[in-house]
Structure 1
């Protein structure tokens, strides 16, 4: 892995992790599902326009259309939908920590459900990662974290893990990666818009803080991080690129503390370190398996 790949990986992890803080700002002043639907609509249209400009087509294979719908439902509508609603009652750092366990959940489900081989390093990483979550959540539950919001975050991580295991090779065939990403966002936008109309009151407090956070979320975590991710995957492969997910809990908690002033204690510091090491161990075990 060269220095450019390391820089891209760090940039991706930082941009991706910052989304939890900007989201927390947005949902404090706008209905979460409606705001997320608009975000996906804008990002999806921009992504498709850029894909068309690059010569990509929306003539996808049947497998790609299936993958597009499943990821649009599970990743965009369920995973992010649950997280955006959850962050109306839980701190951004809590959402970042739970979301960061997705590689651990994928590893555990692959081992239990799909009987995938797991090395001692990978098994140790799973145990360490979930132990880190237990350390943090033990302290947070004593501090009064909202159980319903916490449950929504867990459901979101599970939805994304299931989609990751179910759909593979989404970018193979016709079309192109950017086109598939844009269409996935439109799927999420449509689903969330319907749900929002049915269950949410449309009450928005328009402030500069909301505008800045929304624009940032659309451009940086929404488009820039996605572009960097696929560039990184193309450079070093998906398995090596996924190793950078171990930085998500570290960056997510740190950014929330610096920008939102969310409190941290020794439970959080210890738990984040253990989770990060667990994710790193799981990803390194996958690298050894594919070599």
Structure 2
């Protein structure tokens, strides 16, 4: 039951991220992907850092910078660039190859050789998600597609490295999330001002959109995501990713009046089924699913300390 609860809580992160595309196109200033990435990452990182009251030490300054660059600093600008240039949930659809990236990277970095089931599940997930936006296939933007692929590769690498490195002794998921969001936001900041200039004027809708992205969509969602990485395998976590484009499609239907055809509904069923199959335990030659790798710097005892208690310095990652 504890594992099921972990899966369900972790799944809330990609569900939240599935609303990013609607919020970006409906509430935020146009053509400002870098500024949007900055406003999503840095405020959330600083808030969590103030709650965690823990700074990296030693080699973790470098590790936090690398993870922040992969999961946030590169991922956010690429994500928003693709969201601005691709219709609806198409950016997430192109990024649905993420599970296949993670399967391959897990073989290299975690010693977990790909299984037939994981590869087939990844293919089915990508195919199912592609059916959801089949009608938009004729309007693809090359830059948007490349940005979506690069964002998926960046976060997939960050997910696997987060699993490989774990986190320092006594440091919870809140602090690890704060480090990455802050580092990633600081990386985006100079690029945003250099490329896009001064911040745009913001109306009430834009302010509300940015507040939602920074707090619910980023601070809370990334805490749940990195908490899940600490308790599940990298492959299990990444197979929750298809929930993002599925959510984007549902939001487009419910809030934006976008129709869903029978083919799209069939694709949603395939992608959701692949997500469920991706959570089933399986043994791999390199490790047992659900068990931490021997090289991790945290123990099962530390994992049980993952709580929302914000009264001490070593709390949720």
Normalised by the shorter chain, which TM-score bucket? 0.7 to 0.9
State the partner residue of 1:197.
Answer: 193
CA distance in 2, matches of 1:84, 1:161: 17
CA distance in 1, matches of 2:142, 2:67: 27
Aligned CA-pair RMSD: 3.1
CA distance in 1, matches of 2:131, 2:8: 31
1:89-132 CA distances to partner (integer Å, 9 max, x unpaired)? 21241123233442232113434887632333223212322333
Counterpart contact for 1:27–1:87, Cα < 8 Å: no
State the partner residue of 1:69.
Answer: 65
CA distance in 2, matches of 1:241, 1:113: 16
Selected match of 1:214 from 174, 188, 210: 210
CA distance in 2, matches of 1:174, 1:242: 25
Specify the SS of the correspondent of 1:37: helix
CA distance in 2, matches of 1:277, 1:68: 34
CA drift of 1:88 comes to 1.6
CA drift of 1:44 comes to 1.2
Q: Which of 1 and 2 has higher RCO (CA within 8 Å, sep 6+)?
A: 1
State the partner residue of 2:106.
Answer: 110
1:212-248 CA distances to partner (integer Å, 9 max, x unpaired)? 11111111011122334455567xx223665544433
CA distance in 2, matches of 1:36, 1:51: 22
CA distance in 1, matches of 2:229, 2:208: 30
Which structure 2 residues correspond to residues 121-132 of structure 1 after superposition, within 5 A? 121-132=117-128
1:6-65 CA distances to partner (integer Å, 9 max, x unpaired)? 65345444323223322333544462212321332211110110002xxxx214241x32
State the partner residue of 1:60.
Answer: 57
CA distance in 2, matches of 1:250, 1:260: 15
Which structure 2 residues correspond to residues 147-226 of structure 1 after superposition, within 5 A? 147-167=142-162, 168-173=164-169, 175-202=171-198, 204-226=200-222
CA distance in 1, matches of 2:10, 2:156: 21
CA distance in 2, matches of 1:109, 1:4: 26
| Bigger share in helix | 1
State the partner residue of 1:32.
Answer: 33
Aligned length: 283
Mean Cα deviation higher: 206-215 or 109-118 = 109-118
CA drift of 1:194 comes to 1.5
Specify the SS of the correspondent of 2:85: coil
**TM-score, with structure 1 as normaliser:** 0.81
State the partner residue of 1:146.
Answer: 141
Q: Kindly indicate whether residue 93 of structure 2 is the aligned counterpart of residue 97 of structure 1.
A: yes
Structure 1: 5+ residue runs without aligned partners? none
CA drift of 1:283 comes to 3.9
